Structure 1
Amino acid sequence: MSYRNFKIAIYCPVGNLNSINDLNKFEQSFKFFEKHLNVDKVYLETYRGNETIDWDKMRKIKEFFNSKGIQTSGGITTTVSERGEFVSLCYNDDIHKNGLKEIITKTAELFDEIILDDFFFTNCRCKACIEAKCGLSWAEYRTELMKEVSIDYVIRPAKEVNPNVNLIIKYPNWYEHYQETGYNLKDEPSLFDMIYTGTETRDSMYTQQHLPRYLSYFIMRYMENVKPGKNGGGWFDPYQCSYNLQSYADQARLTVFGKAKEVTLFCLGALLDRDYSMFVPIGGYVLETMDEFVGGLGNPIGTACYIPYHSMGEDYLHNYMGMLGIPLEPYPYFESEEKNIFLTENAAYDKEIVSKIETALLEGRNVIITSGLLKALQNEGVKLPVNVRYTDRKAYINEFALSAHGISFEKIVSSTKSILIPQLEYATNDVWQLISGLGNNNNFPILLNTKYSNGNLSIVTIPDDFGDLYHYPREVLNSLRKAFSPNAKVSIDTVGNVGLFTYDNNTFVVKSFLPHQQDISIYVDEQNVKLVDMVTGESVNGICANDRTVFNINLSPMLYRAYKIDSV
């Protein structure tokens, strides 16, 4: 029986399929998946790293799964080698290009759906590629090249032999750097029938990609807004998750919190391996539990983030902010309807960004920018409508002063470690410090604020190590949360490494990423309400204070609670 709110797929690399010599024996192995998961689909790969499969053998494997009522789709990974570093095809090599066309054509003849695994890029720097680049940046050259390759060697040949084939391009988790290897997020989604999303996060310290857990949710939302309704699902793997089994569970949870229509587990061979097979029952339990309530979650909402196509800057900072309990909703365009807008250094890629900021402020909207964006615009000689300057000076801080209106400090709090920040200069009585870091007979802005017409402009100073945001005292985090979403219906009061996921139908999820128990105060901007646990149906009563209701909960390590706001 299938899940009600999403489908489950397993990706099967060609090497795994080639190792199947006896389908009766393989059926015994596959029963392990059937015991713990309701599998709706398998992606059967026809090429990876110069390895292909006998087509008669593929037909037999396809029939094996179809006989079980499992949908079969094709998969292709466009690599030459994956031993050590990943080596892509060279798209200036006719042998590689024609080989791709041949494998695409044969796969489209056999399957009505094909997904390109997230290696459909080029990192080739051979002499031919260097000459073809011809003065362009690698990003400029490669994005145009991969657009042409998509049309001439993938889409056109596939559609010629199978006009109804559904072509899916899967995008990896490293969205900040797509353009550097030719992923063309601006043009490719309109060329392909669907897109797909890599939601792997693993560990942000001990893996090279340094991706916060929140990214598993954030990138799902970004891709949904890149191609609305045509983001096929989220995809993750078990690699480097055995240090903490919850890290695998979190990939599943946040992918589904992001409203994935399908969840793909990579991959067949790994999940049958003794080192990773434990993740199959874990994944099955997590997904079955979530299926009980995620259908009741509405459309995700949060402070709008603008990430222009082909932009990079302040790598993955959005996700560090999301780990602070600030709900975010990312877009590839400047959202014209959202009340609250968060802009990082990425936004500097839009040459009209200052004009857009000013227009938003004149419309009475709330704009939050980072010190990184301030620096980028300042370096380009572009002036914001505010008297603040990024300097080349730094400061170590571990004490913070808080102010409700910027006139005087009302409270001093301390962090658990010293934090290195850039120093900003601002015009006294024109711009106001709401949070300040205390130095040696000095202080430095952490959160600046000023009015502009009917709007509100805030500047957040970002520490040199983004992970230090997690060490900010909860009082500082509460002020930041208020700056990002001053009129939010739901907010939390707690330490860092706690996520808040909000939806448009009075539902929300609170998720701990902490290794210890944590008390959390949930504020609902309404009186005479209660919270209903969406899993158990139990009610949680709060305390009415200052036109809102406060609910105090204690969350176990790495776990979550999903609630619906209801009348008392």
Structure 2
Amino acid sequence: MRRFVGALLAVLVFGALGPAGADIGKYKNFRTAIYVVVGTTKQLADPAEFARQYDRMQRQLKFDKVYVEVYRNHIFATDAETEAVKKAFEAKGIIVAGGVTLAAGGKNGQFGTFDYEDSADRAECQKASELAARHFNEVILDDFFFYTAKSDADIAAKGDKSWTAYRLGKMREVAKDLVIGPAKAANPSVKVVIKYPNWYPHFQGLGYDLDKEAQMFDGIYTGTETRDPFVTDQLLQQYESYGIIRYFDNIRPTGHNGGNGGGWVDTYSIKYADRYAEQLWDTMFAKAREITLFNWHDLVDPRYPVAAGARGAWEKRPTSFNWADMAKGYTPAGKGDSFGWGRVAGYSLEEVDKALGDLGTPIGIPSYKPYQSDGEDFLQHYLGNIGIPIEMTPTFPQGAKLVLLTEEAKYDPDIVKKIDAQLKSGGNVVITSGFLRAMQDKGFKTIAEWETTGRVIGIREFVNGFGAGNGQSLGQPKTPILFPEVRFYTNDSWAIIRGTAGAKGNPLLLMNGYSKGTIYLLNVPDNAADLYAMPQAALSQIKHYLLADFPVRIDAPDLVSLFAYDNNTLAVESFRDAPATVNIVVPGNDAKLRDLKTGKLVAAKAPPPPQKDARGRPILAPSGTAFPISLEAHSWRTYRIER
């Protein structure tokens, strides 16, 4: 009977979720979990306190599961406290798993991690793992399973290795000998999951390993917290809440041997409530099968009331996050009782759940990011924020029509050979200026004789044109934007989008034919955020070329993202503070576009009249049928393409 119950719990926790629309929890398309930190675990062991907090939480949002933490920052929950909380949740029909945060406090605002050359820290790590495994058949590690210590013992153990090489090896050993091994010795049925945080380009430098370590655990989990892109030190872009799920899904596919369990969002460092909602929506647009809300205390405590924040510019407009509707969904327990962050989460998840069943499997331009790679950090998410759908992958996507290579791809020693093979097979490749800078003297010139000069040019105007003498202004930025200067041979390569600075020109999208394919250079501003300062017409031309073989693209200002799916559906989301006009462009002239919320067809835009250049020659206009929509600030809409 014990083995049967254990197997049943494993199916409930780890079994592949049903198809979109299946009743897999209290929401139709995903499960919702809440993480309970150890201090709250100790509080909830009191039945009266549990009853009070549980009642307040369930009036704010629906949830299916909790992660009950037993250790954090040298604080352990007792066996009795852990069992009391576990049984209290189970009595309510809630799935219960365990949580461990292998953090060692902090100093001066900096996170502290264990020193894994210290015997006391190693013993404490093992003790925490064993404690959690004794009580739960699933245990998740919160995102502090990395290594920052540089004690004398660490320095001696490192020897001649780089810190990256030392820490990667050490954390694989720690995972095996101090976490997974002891946990399974304490409970052979336990599944140990590692939650990785949002700063993935830097993982390897601190011992996080998406290659070997990620396969050692029974599953992985994804930190999708992007918070506010201007007030946090990481400056993570909004699109990452979607993009990182897609990358981690390609590392451990959902439903495959544990897979990528879901996304994880907290309530911190935001200037307005909509930003919290956006993180939840974008995690779910990426088709995460579970969302974890961190943490129970902040969601439920009445001393932490939710404030609308700096949303005055759009608070009276019909946005996707409707404050008044959100507030109406809360039933006060009595006079003076008000909702908290839990209600914001509940409303946001209710709204996106209505749309997810229509959306298929996400698709995007494959961008190859090898394991343990860095360079042009987070660039894919800046591109996502200008409307280019990206699907990051840890393996080279052979057979793709087009592959995007940022500087990260330099870590593959065979990358030039793979570019050659991709082009000879008839596929196309887009490299960035960062990749060119890294590889121009390491074999890339066998493909195209391009190079960055080390100088920069302040671009004052953007120009479209293909062929000798062609050119059409794509607009001017408010202030010059600095781009790397790129050198190429005229007539061997063509600058199909270029920038000018007085009498000086510079390619911004460069192309060269090679065998059966085409290679492009996407010149990226010195500051990637200056992509947002480029004129809309220039951004749209970049998308016209990069998405030539894609089923849909958008002509939109910056900070409008496109999420596309394999069943001819799409979502468009604006992170802007004011309404925006967006043209959804579908290839061909026989397409129709249906709004999935209203069920109505969107009227197509009349094609523009033919234009000519200064010499009277026709200018090639972007192909496709355009459907104009008005998108509210901080809002999203979903559509279906029909033929």
Find 1:238's aligned residue among 239, 264, 267.
267
Offset of residue 421 of structure 1: 1.3
Find 1:464's aligned residue among 512, 526, 532.
526
Q: Secondary structure at the match of 2:110?
A: coil
Preserved contact between residue 404 and residue 410 of structure 1 (Cα < 8 Å):
no
Preserved contact between residue 300 and residue 341 of structure 2 (Cα < 8 Å):
no
Q: Secondary structure at the match of 1:19?
A: helix
Q: Secondary structure at the match of 1:417?
A: coil
Distance, in Å, in 1 between the alignment partners of 2:499 and 2:605 is 33
Distance, in Å, in 1 between the alignment partners of 2:116 and 2:446 is 42
State the match for 1:142 in structure 2. 167
Distance, in Å, in 2 between the alignment partners of 1:338 and 1:549 is 25
Offset of residue 206 of structure 1: 1.7
After TM superposition, the structure 1 stretch with the greater mean CA deviation from structure 2, 113-122 or 150-159, is: 150-159
Preserved contact between residue 371 and residue 461 of structure 1 (Cα < 8 Å):
yes
Preserved contact between residue 518 and residue 556 of structure 1 (Cα < 8 Å):
yes
After TM superposition, the structure 1 stretch with the greater mean CA deviation from structure 2, 203-212 or 423-432, is: 203-212
Find 1:209's aligned residue among 234, 237, 241.
234
CA RMSD after TM alignment: 1.6
Q: Which runs of 5+ in 2 are unaligned?
A: 1-24, 307-339, 608-621
Find 1:167's aligned residue among 177, 187, 192.
192
Deviations 1:505-525 (A, max 9, x none): 000011111111110111111
State the match for 2:85 in structure 1. 61
The residue type equivalent to 2:201 in the other structure is: E
TM-score, with structure 1 as normaliser:
0.97
Preserved contact between residue 201 and residue 211 of structure 1 (Cα < 8 Å):
yes
Aligned length: 566
Find 1:336's aligned residue among 398, 406, 420.
398
The residue type equivalent to 1:409 in the other structure is: G
CA, structure 1 residues 16+488, in 2 after alignment: closer, same or farther (shift >3 Å)? same
Find 1:4's aligned residue among 28, 52, 56.
28
Q: Secondary structure at the match of 1:247?
A: helix
Q: Secondary structure at the match of 1:336?
A: coil
Q: Secondary structure at the match of 1:527?
A: coil
Q: Secondary structure at the match of 1:539?
A: coil
After TM superposition, the structure 1 stretch with the greater mean CA deviation from structure 2, 457-466 or 273-282, is: 273-282
Identity within the alignment, %: 39
Offset of residue 566 of structure 1: 2.4
Offset of residue 384 of structure 1: 4.8
Offset of residue 544 of structure 1: 6.8
Q: Secondary structure at the match of 1:415?
A: coil
After TM superposition, the structure 1 stretch with the greater mean CA deviation from structure 2, 543-552 or 31-40, is: 543-552
Offset of residue 357 of structure 1: 0.7
Moved over 6 A (4+): none
Preserved contact between residue 387 and residue 426 of structure 1 (Cα < 8 Å):
yes
Q: How do 1:80-479 residues align onto structure 2 when only pairs under 5 Å count?
A: 80-82=104-106, 84-229=109-254, 230-241=259-270, 243-273=271-301, 274-275=303-304, 277=306, 278-378=340-440, 380=442, 383-405=445-467, 408-479=470-541
The residue type equivalent to 2:262 in the other structure is: G
Distance, in Å, in 2 between the alignment partners of 1:175 and 1:557 is 29
State the match for 2:59 in structure 1. 35
State the match for 2:43 in structure 1. 19
Q: Secondary structure at the match of 2:403?
A: strand
Q: Secondary structure at the match of 1:36?
A: coil
Distance, in Å, in 1 between the alignment partners of 2:186 and 2:77 is 20
CA, structure 1 residues 405+9, in 2 after alignment: closer, same or farther (shift >3 Å)? farther
The residue type equivalent to 1:271 in the other structure is: L
Q: Secondary structure at the match of 2:299?
A: helix
Distance, in Å, in 2 between the alignment partners of 1:379 and 1:265 is 47
Preserved contact between residue 43 and residue 74 of structure 1 (Cα < 8 Å):
yes
Deviations 1:433-466 (A, max 9, x none): 1111111211111111111111111101111111
Deviations 1:518-568 (A, max 9, x none): 10111111434332222332332324759743211011101011111224x
Offset of residue 352 of structure 1: 0.8
Distance, in Å, in 2 between the alignment partners of 1:272 and 1:28 is 10
Preserved contact between residue 509 and residue 521 of structure 2 (Cα < 8 Å):
yes
The residue type equivalent to 1:106 in the other structure is: L
Offset of residue 212 of structure 1: 0.4
The residue type equivalent to 2:279 in the other structure is: Q
CA, structure 1 residues 503+85, in 2 after alignment: closer, same or farther (shift >3 Å)? same
The residue type equivalent to 1:553 in the other structure is: I
State the match for 2:4 in structure 1. none
Preserved contact between residue 507 and residue 564 of structure 1 (Cα < 8 Å):
yes
Distance, in Å, in 1 between the alignment partners of 2:305 and 2:284 is 21
The alignment status of 1:564 with 2:640, answered yes or no, reads yes
Offset of residue 364 of structure 1: 1.1
CA, structure 1 residues 415+281, in 2 after alignment: closer, same or farther (shift >3 Å)? same
The residue type equivalent to 2:341 in the other structure is: F
Q: Secondary structure at the match of 1:416?
A: coil
Q: Which runs of 5+ in 1 are unaligned?
A: none
Preserved contact between residue 57 and residue 342 of structure 2 (Cα < 8 Å):
yes
The residue type equivalent to 1:260 in the other structure is: A
Preserved contact between residue 245 and residue 286 of structure 2 (Cα < 8 Å):
yes
Deviations 1:131-159 (A, max 9, x none): 11111111111111111111111111111
Distance, in Å, in 1 between the alignment partners of 2:598 and 2:477 is 37
The residue type equivalent to 1:370 in the other structure is: T
Offset of residue 340 of structure 1: 1.2
CA, structure 1 residues 276+304, in 2 after alignment: closer, same or farther (shift >3 Å)? farther
CA, structure 1 residues 415+519, in 2 after alignment: closer, same or farther (shift >3 Å)? same
After TM superposition, the structure 1 stretch with the greater mean CA deviation from structure 2, 502-511 or 435-444, is: 435-444
The residue type equivalent to 2:640 in the other structure is: K
Offset of residue 95 of structure 1: 1.5
TM-score, with structure 2 as normaliser:
0.86
Deviations 1:170-194 (A, max 9, x none): 1110010000100011101211110
The residue type equivalent to 2:642 in the other structure is: D
Distance, in Å, in 2 between the alignment partners of 1:559 and 1:279 is 19
Q: Secondary structure at the match of 2:476?
A: strand
Distance, in Å, in 1 between the alignment partners of 2:279 and 2:267 is 9
Distance, in Å, in 2 between the alignment partners of 1:361 and 1:488 is 18
Preserved contact between residue 462 and residue 498 of structure 2 (Cα < 8 Å):
yes
Offset of residue 213 of structure 1: 0.4
Distance, in Å, in 1 between the alignment partners of 2:638 and 2:167 is 43
Preserved contact between residue 366 and residue 457 of structure 1 (Cα < 8 Å):
yes
Distance, in Å, in 2 between the alignment partners of 1:431 and 1:23 is 73
Deviations 1:190-213 (A, max 9, x none): 111100000010122221111100
